[in-house]
Amino acid sequence: MSKKPVLKAVNDAPRPSQEAAMEAVRTLIAWAGDNPDREGLKDTPKRVVQAYKEWFKGYNQDPQDILSRVFEDVSGYDDMVILREIDVESHCEHHIAPFIGKAYVAYMPTDKVVGISKIVKVVEVFSKRLQTQESMTAQIAKAIDDALKPRGTAIMVDAVHECMTTRGVHHKQVSTITTQFTGEFKTNPALQERFIRLIGRSS
């Protein structure tokens, strides 16, 4: 009789079982001061674990697989490919609190392009993991650079962090903007400015 495969975390350490994860939720509920066995909370550990599976599904996805199917007939197109207003729903690694916003992605193709939905999926892969907004922005750019070898990549993420809105300083109107430029976008300020203008973020 074959054994079930042991799930691995991103660092190759064995993942705890679902039962262990549910028990951890029960512990947190009790630590917060409530009774995990009362009627309204007894199914909460199971619901939280299911929510974690959805929120952090990016650990089970490989961005390079997503970007592996490319189209080499670009008919001489050599200008920016831009995707605007990509929804970002993520959790920061410091408090596991949500941060929600938009991503803007551009790349300058060389001899191949990728289906535009694949770019959206790559953003989702990295947003469905624990990290900082800064590292997520850099990871998206690196994944596109590694897979497509473009002449340059530009990423902007604008998000509101609930670790600032619901705790700590309690500032609800503050958003965080991060950018990452590679290749021609990094070396050509005029190209950066054009990207900012085309995504509608110019002042």
Point out the residues that are catalytic: 92-95, 133, 161, 163
Q: Is-contact 88 133, C-beta < 8 A?
A: no
> Which residues on adjacent β-strands are paired with residue 177?
158
Nearest to 88 by CA among 107, 103, 74: 103
Tokens of 112: 């191949």
Helix (H, G, I), strand (E, B) or coil at 132: coil
* Cα angle value 83/88/92 (rounded, 5°): 140
Query: What one-character DSSP code corresponds to residue 199?
Result: T
Nearest to 180 by CA among 147, 152, 151, 149: 152
Q: Is 81 exposed, middle or buried (0-12, 13-18, 19+ CB in 10 A)?
A: middle
Tokens of 201: 């973020």
Q: Which residues contact 158 (CB under 8 A, 6 or more apart)?
A: 101, 102, 104, 175, 176, 177, 201
